[in-house]
Amino acid sequence: MSKEFSIYKKVSYIDFAAAALFTLLLINFSLDISLLAFPLALIFSGSLVYLSFFKIFKKTDGSKAMAVLKLTQYLPYFLLLCFILRRAGKNGTSSFYDFITVLLWIIVFVTSLILSNLMGEKKIKKLSEGWSVKPEFKKPQGAARIAFEIVDWIDALIWAIFTVMLFQIFVFQLYEIPSESMVPTFLIKDRVIVSKFDCGPKFPLTNIGLPDFRRYKRGQTIVLRNPHYSLERKSEVKTVVSQLVYMLTFMTVNLNTDENGELKADPLVKRICGEPGEQLVMQDGQLYARTKNHDFQPVSLDNKFACWNLNALPSNVKNKVQLFPLDAKEYEELVDFEEYRRNYDLKVAEFRAYELVRSLNSLSQAASLTEEVFEAPSLFEFHLFSKAGQITSDILTKKGGRKWFGDFMTSWISNKNNERDLYSEANYRLNVMAKITFGNIVLRSAILIKNKAGEDEWKNDAELNQYYELAQKLNWYIQSHLDQRNMPLFPANDAQGNPQYIPNNCYFMMGDNRFNSLDLRHSYEQTQKALSADDQLSIEYYSNMEPQYVNKRYIIGKPVYRFWPATRRGKV
């Protein structure tokens, strides 16, 4: 027996023992797909053990050496598939159980590499010295050569797929940009290489893997699991399977869909905008941050990446952008509107609110009241403006209408001088602006009703049209841009008003294309919310604002290189 053969046998025994223990840990009795993991692993590893022990070790018969080599090479990858299959069932496994299984798999992987090397064509001669039957690596001739070449190509393809699969789980992953949330950094269909090795990659469906030793900081682009989706077992199984199919089909088939059959926005590519120990707020497109050691300050680095006006992009990038939430004129109007809101005089508004109430009272006193009781309308901003004519009629003719109008128009005044953060102050002013605009519409409508104005007079009333024009601008900003342009204190202060901060190992991310990025500022559902907490009768709007931070365990990699399209290839 040669020295090489003695080493080969010892390593093989280690490989067989680890594979056997690994296979035993796949045993379970759940009546689902996970039940297949154990028999499949047993058949595959058992075939390898049988051929190795009875043919090579016992009879030194090298006629099956090629089959043993291929089974040895495929063993760790096949066991990895069985590992995933076992965890795809209803019943999970404990972290300790996973740790032992992963440790055994690593032993199988390492020993299989050693054995494959010892059985290579260059070393097989020394290994097989003294064997009764020498291994044959010669290619057949004639018609059999064609079949051999086909099988050889299939073998090479399968080997490449398994290698890429392992590489993609732990080292690099290919990722196709699905949306324009990161314009101009990334465009739709950009394909990038994502580094995973230093971001703590895990074995599929477990928390066992490499440590995360990358240091994350503001401004870095990262790829993360979408926290808006459930990470429960059933969903994770579908995600893992879809990733494998996506990889095996060279990024052409994506099965990662939600319960409605729509493609999931998972994973996401975003930029780190908030770090541990910070409290954030964003107003009029400017991000501010404070810590325990300093008050709110503008985050200058965020201005470098945040893209609000796509019209200002270079032409070579702008021509590739599909959606422009605002054209150049609309963006200027937005900025002007925000400036108008910042300079809005609350003292003048207070005087106008009382004047509106007095004026309407004097008009409504002359109107005859019916026996009907006034029902307070919805405070939803669009409803108030679109139904202003009917609401005015009800105020004038129904009991309690004038009182409601007076309460609604002045409910904000008692808290006018309260101290508020930037976001709350801006929304408080928006609420007052909307109320005064609504009050102006109601008073002008009441005058037209009193004067029994005709249809043409209503349509052509310049004063009323001016108020409705402002109402339309308010609706445009509140419903379409408020939640994209701004963000409340995050994390929110506690009940006593004490600042809260992003915890250790947690980060806040946004897309660069802020008007077209459904990111960690937002939920996927809208709820009706009050514009201002300092007004009991605040105007309301539909909002999906629900900022959240995520633990770094959600981060799965960092884009490092764009390889497609060729005209935009380069380091990220």
Cα 449 from Cα 443, distance rounded (Å): 10
Least confident of 66-70, 364-368, 533-537: 364-368
Q: Are 367 and 399 in contact (CB under 8 A)?
A: no
Looking at residues 302-328, what average pLDDT do you find?
Answer: 94
- H-type alpha helices, 343-487: 346-364, 381-386, 388-397, 401-410, 422-450, 455-460, 462-480, 482-485
Looking at residues 368-387, what average pLDDT do you find?
Answer: 91
Give me the percent of the chain exceeding a pLDDT of 70: 96
More confident residue, 122 or 544: 544
CA nearest 174: which of 541, 465, 561, 458? Answer: 561
Cα 570 from Cα 572, distance rounded (Å): 6
Q: Which two tokens stand for residue 380?
A: 């939803």
Count of alpha carbons within 13 angstroms of residue 448, beta-carbon side = 24
Instruction: Please report the pLDDT score of residue 65 as a whole number.
Output: 86
SS3 per-residue string spanning 254-307: CCCECCCCCECCCCEEEEEEECCCCEEEEECCEEEEECCCCCCEECHHHHHHCE
SS3 per-residue string spanning 475-488: HHHHHHCHHHHCEE
Instruction: Please report the pLDDT score of residue 505 as a whole number.
Output: 94
Q: What pLDDT digit, counting tens, does each position of 270-289 carry?
A: 999 999 999 999 999 999 99
Q: Residue 174: which pLDDT band, with cuts at 50, 70 and 90? A: confident
Q: Which two tokens stand for residue 73?
A: 């090479």
Instruction: Please report the pLDDT score of residue 379 as a whole number.
Output: 97
> Phi/psi at 19 (nearest 5 deg)?
-65, -40
Cα 308 from Cα 338, distance rounded (Å): 14
Give, in order, the Cα–Cα distances in Å from 487 to each of 220, 357, 440, 491, 546: 21, 33, 30, 11, 9
Instruction: Please report the pLDDT score of residue 487 as a whole number.
Output: 97
More confident residue, 532 or 260: 532
Instruction: Please report the pLDDT score of residue 139 as a whole number.
Output: 62
Q: Are 24 and 65 in contact (CB under 8 A)?
A: no
More confident residue, 130 or 191: 191
Least confident of 109-118, 120-129, 210-219, 246-255: 246-255
Q: Are 240 and 204 in contact (CB under 8 A)?
A: yes
Instruction: Please report the pLDDT score of residue 250 as a whole number.
Output: 64
Give, in order, the Cα–Cα distances in Å from 495 to each of 248, 428, 498, 499: 51, 20, 7, 10
Least confident of 216-230, 279-293, 527-541: 216-230
Question: Quick check: 367 pLDDT over 70?
Answer: no
Q: Residue 47: which pLDDT band, with cuts at 50, 70 and 90? A: very high
Which residues partner with 551 through β-bridges? 506
Least confident of 232-236, 347-351, 431-435: 232-236
Q: What pLDDT digit, counting tens, does each position of 554-569 carry?
A: 999 999 999 999 888 8
Looking at residues 105-133, what average pLDDT do you find?
Answer: 87
Cα 49 from Cα 56, distance rounded (Å): 10
Q: Residue 30: which pLDDT band, with cuts at 50, 70 and 90? A: confident
Task: State the DSSP H helix or E strand holding residue 522, giving kind and residue range, or none if neither.
Answer: strand 522-530
Q: Are 427 and 531 in contact (CB under 8 A)?
A: yes
Least confident of 108-122, 135-149, 409-423, 452-466: 135-149
Burial of 174 (0-12, 13-18, 19+ CB in 10 A): middle
Instruction: Please report the pLDDT score of residue 1 as a whole number.
Output: 63
Instruction: Please report the pLDDT score of residue 241 as a whole number.
Output: 74
Q: What pLDDT digit, counting tens, does each position of 226-267 carry?
A: 888 877 766 777 777 777 777 667 667 777 777 777 777 788
Question: Quick check: 479 pLDDT over 80?
Answer: yes
CA nearest 474: which of 341, 344, 342, 350? Answer: 341
Instruction: Please report the pLDDT score of residue 245 as a whole number.
Output: 74
Instruction: Please report the pLDDT score of residue 92 as a whole number.
Output: 78
Instruction: Please report the pLDDT score of residue 416 as a whole number.
Output: 95
Our measurement of the distance from residue 532's CA atom to the centroid of its chain's CA atoms, rounded to an integer in Å, reads 29
Instruction: Please report the pLDDT score of residue 296 as a whole number.
Output: 97
Average pLDDT in the chain: 90
Question: Quick check: 66 pLDDT over 70?
Answer: yes
Least confident of 141-150, 365-374, 451-460, 463-472: 141-150
Cα 213 from Cα 308, distance rounded (Å): 33
Give the residue carrying structure tokens 């963000």: 487
Instruction: Please report the pLDDT score of residue 131 as a whole number.
Output: 85
Q: What is the DSSP string of 164-180?
A: HHHHHHHTEEEEE--SS
Cα 81 from Cα 76, distance rounded (Å): 9
